[in-house]
Structure 1
Amino acid sequence: MSQPLRVASYNIHKGLSFFNGRMVVHELRDRLVSLNADLVFLQEVVGEHALHAGRFETWPVEPQYEFLADEIWPEFAYGKNAVYDHGHHGNAILSRYPILRWDNLDISAHLFESRGLLHCEIAVPGYEQPLHAICLHLALNEAGRRKQLRILSERIHALVPDDAPLIIAGDFNDWRQKAASYMAHELQLKEVFEVAHGRPARSFPAAFPLFTLDRIYVRGFEVESAQVLHGSRWRRLSDHAPLTAQLRLAPLQSVSAAA
């Protein structure tokens, strides 16, 4: 039997508190470490921000994804999506295991939102095939999200073998819960909270969660547990609550006994 894989997904709001009044990236790093996740899918990660670096005395010198990875996640990938005069931000994946290859696809639906799809192939010990891990942040409007889901589907059909393990996590902005049926029927994916609890997690706003914006979809895995993290320690860090799940490779995906 394969070892469990613990994953987390979190929109970190650029390392700033809900109303941008405080820099919280140092506390955020401590809290992420406490999750003991093998893979972390992050959205709204700052690669560079000259204004914040001048405003906050302890703003990290390195990009946020490197600062957060620290020594816990030796491998990381960053997809630069939104670029502006004073810096840029995007999605990131932090990994305990080697990232074999990765690329970032621009899936922006219009000029007013810069969105990306970060796709990594990861060598997880005991897996016969690389794990495909996709981190994304979808559009605020439904038409944009439909377009982006079609792009996602085309990419998976083209580049991800049907029998390869697959995790897609991020901020879907899917408050009307339209994506679930598409992901299930088009891509044979299941959402971890629907499996574990019967419905997606309420993760936004973190202080009083009403909307199910954040998701973790999987294929080729059994879902052992899924948790959305609320409470004062988390709601002071971002406007979203983080999601965690413990997964185990489904029997047909497991390595042979000889391996």
Structure 2
Amino acid sequence: MTRSLRTPHRAEHPAGAERRLRVATYNIHKGVRGVGPRKRLEIHNLGDGVAQLGADLVFLQEVRLFHHGDARRFDHTSFGWPAQGQAEFLAPDGYETAYRTNAVTHGGEHGNALLSRWPLGDIGHHDVSDHRFEQRGLLHAIVNWQGVAVHGIVAHFGLFHASRARQAQRLGEYVASRVPAGAPVIVAGDFNDWGERLDPWFVQAGLARATVPGALRHPLTFPSRLPLFSLDRVYTRGLRCLRTEVPRGASWARMSDHLPLVVELELTG
């Protein structure tokens, strides 16, 4: 991939596509890969990758607003560390962005972001940290999609199942208390659910996993070089899933340890 591609790719859709919402979720690994002397900057390639997804909404995890150490390290490379936050840097032309920090670390921070082709309304953040060693949060933004208020929630759950179960319960409570009954909802992110044990919590919250009817298995997104697990997911209320897609190839495997998941949705009503 090259840095020149910044215009969103718009795939050809059949009649009625204007009622379809193309959604992607992607853990970008803070825009870098590798450790030590082999650490490399991938944020520029990720910008091209996000544009190629052609999604109306892009739910991102492990996004940096700043990191002083990486900025110094890569400042003198051919492309350099972006001057703005990664959410703004990755947004294709004309997209609006929402970002909130989840975790503050030595020299920087990272959190969740939502990139939207459609206008954004209120933006909020809800802390769902389960213990002091993992800072986790929900980014909640209202998307004005063709006159419909769609509630988008970006999530990144913890590394332990007990924590994830409690975070799923808190997410359900949050939706029940903060989202109007009947309003369309999209919850997307990296749920770290290696054992496929979280779906019942989402069902209890009135959210359905975005899956094509009749599919034999869920799309695999992790690890990017040889996907074996379905960690990256989309859950919805008031929308149905028409199609899922996971981009594959050497370029995608290089940019992050996760592959993006893309789903096409339409309103059920």
Query: Residue 61 of structure 2 aligns with which residue?
Result: 43
Query: Residue 102 of structure 1 aligns with which residue?
Result: 123
- Segments of 5+ residues of structure 2 without an aligned counterpart are 1-15
Q: Which SS does the other structure have where 1:208 is aligned?
A: coil
- Deviation of 1:229 after TM superposition, in Å, equals 1.8
TM-score, with normalisation over the residues of structure 1?
A: 0.91
Give, as a single letter, the amino acid of the residue that structure 2 aligns with 1:178. R
Query: Residue 223 of structure 1 aligns with which residue?
Result: 241
Q: Does 1:169 align with 2:185?
A: no
Q: Distance in 2 between matches of 1:157 and 1:195?
A: 26
Query: Residue 227 of structure 2 aligns with which residue?
Result: 209
Q: Does 1:11 align with 2:32?
A: no
- Segments of 5+ residues of structure 1 without an aligned counterpart are 253-259
Encode CA deviations 1:29-77: one digit per residue, 9 max, x unaligned: 011101111100000001100100000020001000010114241x111
Q: Which SS does the other structure have where 1:170 is aligned?
A: strand
Q: Distance in 1 between matches of 2:85 and 2:151?
A: 24
Query: Residue 63 of structure 1 aligns with which residue?
Result: 85
Query: Residue 10 of structure 2 aligns with which residue?
Result: none
Q: Indicate the larger mover: 43-52 or 76-85.
A: 76-85
Q: Does 1:156 align with 2:172?
A: no
Q: Distance in 1 between matches of 2:66 and 2:256?
A: 19
Q: Which SS does the other structure have where 1:197 is aligned?
A: coil
Query: Residue 256 of structure 1 aligns with which residue?
Result: none
Alignment of 1:183-194 (within 5 A): 183-184=202-203, 186-193=204-211
Q: Distance in 2 between matches of 1:17 and 1:85?
A: 18
Q: Does 1:111 align with 2:132?
A: yes
Match of 1:30 among 29, 45, 48: 48
Give, as a single letter, the amino acid of the residue that structure 1 aligns with 2:21. L
Give, as a single letter, the amino acid of the residue that structure 2 aligns with 1:71. D
Q: Which SS does the other structure have where 1:67 is aligned?
A: helix
Q: Distance in 1 between matches of 2:161 and 2:62?
A: 20
The answer on whether the counterparts of 2:20 and 2:266 sit within 8 Å (CA) in structure 1 is yes
How many percent of aligned residue pairs carry the same amino acid?
Answer: 43
Query: Residue 7 of structure 2 aligns with which residue?
Result: none
Query: Residue 218 of structure 2 aligns with which residue?
Result: 200
Q: Distance in 1 between matches of 2:237 and 2:133?
A: 32
Count matched residues. Answer: 247
Q: Which SS does the other structure have where 1:52 is aligned?
A: helix
TM-score, with normalisation over the residues of structure 2?
A: 0.88
Q: Distance in 1 between matches of 2:254 and 2:219?
A: 19
Moved over 2 A (4+): 17-20, 193-200
- Deviation of 1:188 after TM superposition, in Å, equals 2.4
- Deviation of 1:159 after TM superposition, in Å, equals 1.5
